[in-house]
Structure 1
């Protein structure tokens, strides 16, 4: 079950990363808070593109580096935590982004974030000793 879950998570990350680089790129700029551009000394587009590249790398690493799956799982979880302020900013400002056009959808996205973190960690832990 963990293997299937890990592959589904990888597919989700790859699809999200691709959307950051293509059709959703413009819309995702809305999610980037102004303070992030100041803190990172860059523009919103660079943050969107970089996050897309990171998502693709993490998705690929989930399937291509089975010996490092635990570390990759922690990296995926950290990524989900790192993007949470952008999701919070989007919910607070009420600005639409791809697939998040309503306040309800944006709020549900916030509630799903801890589940994504848990999913990343659960799907990448080693099986307990004695289990099949």
Structure 2
């Protein structure tokens, strides 16, 4: 069961990462809060590209490095926590991004972070 959960999580991460790097790149800039660009001394596009690359790398590592599964799972959970302020920003500003073009969708998306963190944690723990 956990191996299926890991595979699904890896596919979700790689798919999301590819969308950040390709067709959704422009739309995802909306999610990046202005304070993040000031704090990181970069622009919104660079943050979107970096998050997309991180997603692809984390998803790939989850499959390719089974001995590091616990550490990778912790990194994935931390990543999901780290991007949460962007989800809050998007909900508060009411701006659409790929797949999140209604207030309801943006609001529901906020509550998906907890299951994503739990999924990463549970799927990567040794029994």
Larger radius of gyration: 1
Asked if 1:28 corresponds to 2:1, the answer is no
* Bigger proportion of residues as helix: 2
- Distance (whole Å) between structure 2 residues aligned to residue 31 and residue 49 of structure 1: 13
Asked if 1:77 corresponds to 2:77, the answer is yes
Moved over 4 A (4+): none
Counterpart in 2 of 1:46?
46
Q: Normalising to structure 2: TM-score of the pair? A: 0.99
Q: Normalising to structure 1: TM-score of the pair? A: 0.96
| Structure 1 residue 13: Cα displacement | 0.2
- Equivalenced residues, count: 127
C-alpha RMSD over aligned residues: 0.3
Counterpart in 2 of 1:114?
114
Give 3-state SS (helix, strand or coil) of 2:124's partner.
coil
- Distance (whole Å) between structure 2 residues aligned to residue 52 and residue 12 of structure 1: 12
- Distance (whole Å) between structure 2 residues aligned to residue 65 and residue 71 of structure 1: 10
Q: What are the Cα deviations for residues 83-131 of structure 1, in whole angstroms up to 9, with x where unaligned?
A: 000000000000000000001101111000011000000000001xxxx
- Distance (whole Å) between structure 2 residues aligned to residue 86 and residue 118 of structure 1: 19
Unaligned runs of 5+ in 1: 128-132
- Distance (whole Å) between structure 1 residues aligned to residue 40 and residue 114 of structure 2: 25
- Distance (whole Å) between structure 1 residues aligned to residue 32 and residue 63 of structure 2: 29
| Structure 1 residue 15: Cα displacement | 0.2
